[in-house]
Structure 1
Amino acid sequence: MASPILLNIGGRTYATTVDTLTHREPDSMLAAMFSGRHTVPKDPDTGMVFIDRDGKHFRHVLNWLRDGVLPLLHDSQYQELLREAEYYQLIGLVDYINENMKKPDDEEPELTRRDIIKCIQSERLRFRGVNLSQLNLSKLDLSFVDFTFACLKNTVFSHANLQKAKFGDVEAVGSNFEDANLRECEFLGANLSGSTLDRASLQSANLQDASLVDCSFCKADLRSAHLQSANLAGANLTGANLEGANLKVLLFLFLEIQLKLFILLYCKVSH
């Protein structure tokens, strides 16, 4: 068996081996210290190697070096351990922490797809103000569901039946509504910026005051849709059916495009 090495990390005592300190992270500062290439000073009385760092989280450092895993930690603990990992130049541990540490803007959904299906089966179909961001709700029957004020960022509704569902004032940036049935849906004041609605059926849908910036409506059915005051800047309407749709905002966009073309032509002529 390998002889133990005694470490004094900021006043806390740990026992380990050279193999543990050098095997998993061979390019780290710890591996360099105990590789045998350097003389490491030891306390003449105790034989301990002293390292002037906070020893609180060094047990996690050793567990990482032994097993390559960590227990679930709070974000503040991850932050403290990250500083120690960076000091010891444990690149693998740094990457592990960054992958597992919750980012400040991460938004976890309050329900799972399974929860949603159970709600549908039990006819409890109100999700007002609920965070359902990043869930995959494709191909579900969510007709008549009330999503008002819900957080639906990057949520997938492709091929779902959402007829007459309510999306008033939802935050649905980057969501996917491809091939979804959105007939007669209410999106009053909703933020759908960057969302994909290709081939979606939006016949008679209410999109008044909605933010549709950079949305894609390729081959979407927008017949008789209400688009008053909707922001369609940068939206892609290629192949969309706009028969009977409110044309005020579309006329504005047409004039805006004509104005940009005029400015470009004027600039070329003037030069």
Structure 2
Amino acid sequence: MNDGNQTSSSTSSSKSTTTTSTITDTPINDHTEYQPRKGGVIKLNVGGHLFFTSISTLCAESNSMFSAMFSGRFPIQTEEDGSVFIDRDGTHFLHILNWLRNKYIPPINDDIVKECLIIEAKYYQILSLVDHLSAPPPPSPNPNKFSQKELIVMLNQSHPSHPIQLASADLSGLDLSGLSFRGANLRFANLEGSSLKYCDLSSANLQDANLKRCDLRYSDLSHGDLQRAQLQNSQLQYSTAISCNFSDAELLESSLQNADFQNSQLSGANLQCANLQDINLNGSKLQGTSLYKAINVQRAKGLKR
């Protein structure tokens, strides 16, 4: 009996020793699994570039690769230094992080860099960044476009002996009522839809200017040059345009009631469908002027019938 117990004990001891030896000889894995913690700091190795950020930043976009990667559903291995390795080019990864942090990155003018970043953003499935980078660039600011405030400052700084120079300026849609543009150079200027009510435009150069749908009521255009100016549907009631040059100007459907056009040059001008009620045309030159379907022609003063 004793010999049997000793044999059994010896055998058990031998098995125990063998088992211990087997565990000791098992190779140790160099990688450990990373357990993501909300708000925790994480070290990323992106193609050899190291970055420190937080889980909340990486998961800022719910449908991104990072949100899935650090959701806790998948095992993540870390390197010996504790970093998580991502086998991608890390050259532009800082832009990826900054977009996740702020939803903003500085404008990228280099097309090659932009294309590379779009590729990386698609890989990480950060679609908002893809859309941002793929959007067409905003239109370049028009250097000839002025605001009402800018224009008032320029007018206040100008001197009567040196009238303001606004050739080809874009002044469309502005309220410029009561301002003085006396002697100003507004050739080819765009004033469409602007309010020029009570403005002093005397002696101004408005050749080829766009004055469509302008409110010019009570304005002074005397001695101005409006050759080939576009004045369709403009309001010129009670305006003063004495000795003004309207040669070949477009005044289609304009309102000219009670306007003073004495001694003005209207040769070749188009006044079709214009309202001529009580307009003063005494001394004006009307050779080649089109009055087809003009309204209240019989009320016009100085118009030979």
TM-score by length of 1: 0.58
Give, in whole Å, the separation in 2 of the partners of 1:149 and 1:124: 19
Instruction: State the percentage of identical aligned residues.
Output: 13
Partner of 1:103: 139
Partner of 2:248: 209
State the 1:167 CA deviation.
3.1
State the 1:40 CA deviation.
11
Identify which of 164, 169, 172 aligns with 2:210: 172
Partner of 2:152: 117
Amino acid in the other structure paired with 1:147 = N
State the 1:237 CA deviation.
3.0
The 5 Å alignment of 1:1-271 reads 1-4=39-42, 6=44, 8=46, 14-23=51-60, 26=62, 31-36=63-68, 47-51=84-88, 55=92, 59-60=94-95, 62-71=97-106, 73=107, 76=109, 81=114, 84=117, 88-90=126-128, 94=132, 101-104=137-140, 106-109=141-144, 113-124=148-159, 126-130=163-167, 132-134=169-171, 136=174, 138-149=176-187, 151-152=189-190, 154=192, 156-172=194-210, 176-179=214-217, 181-184=219-222, 185-190=224-229, 192=230, 196-197=234-235, 199=237, 201=239, 203-204=241-242, 205-210=244-249, 217-218=254-255, 222-224=259-261, 226-230=265-269, 237=274, 242-244=279-281, 246=286, 248-251=288-291, 253-254=292-293
State the 1:181 CA deviation.
0.6
Larger radius of gyration: 2
Give, in whole Å, the separation in 2 of the partners of 1:216 and 1:42: 78
Q: Any unmatched runs of 5+ in structure 1?
A: 256-271
Deviations, residues 233-271 of structure 1 (Å, cap 9, x unaligned): xx76357655526373323x459xxxxxxxxxxxxxxxx
Deviations, residues 119-167 of structure 1 (Å, cap 9, x unaligned): 4444425233555414735124214231243533557343241331423
Give, in whole Å, the separation in 2 of the partners of 1:199 and 1:133: 24
TM-score by length of 2: 0.53
Deviations, residues 50-73 of structure 1 (Å, cap 9, x unaligned): 456972xx64554343234455x4
State the 1:115 CA deviation.
4.5
Q: Give 3-state SS (helix, strand or coil) of 2:67's partner.
A: coil
Contact 2:233/2:254 (<8 A) preserved: no
Contact 1:40/1:49 (<8 A) preserved: no
Instruction: From the superposition, tell whether residues 176 and 78 of structure 1 become closer, same or farther in structure 2 (CA, over 3 Å).
Output: farther
State the 1:18 CA deviation.
4.2
- Cα-Cα RMSD: 4.9
Q: Any unmatched runs of 5+ in structure 2?
A: 1-38, 295-305
Contact 1:195/1:216 (<8 A) preserved: yes
Amino acid in the other structure paired with 1:209 = D
Deviations, residues 205-241 of structure 1 (Å, cap 9, x unaligned): 42223356xx662455554353323456xx7635765
What is the number of residues matched between the two proteins?
236
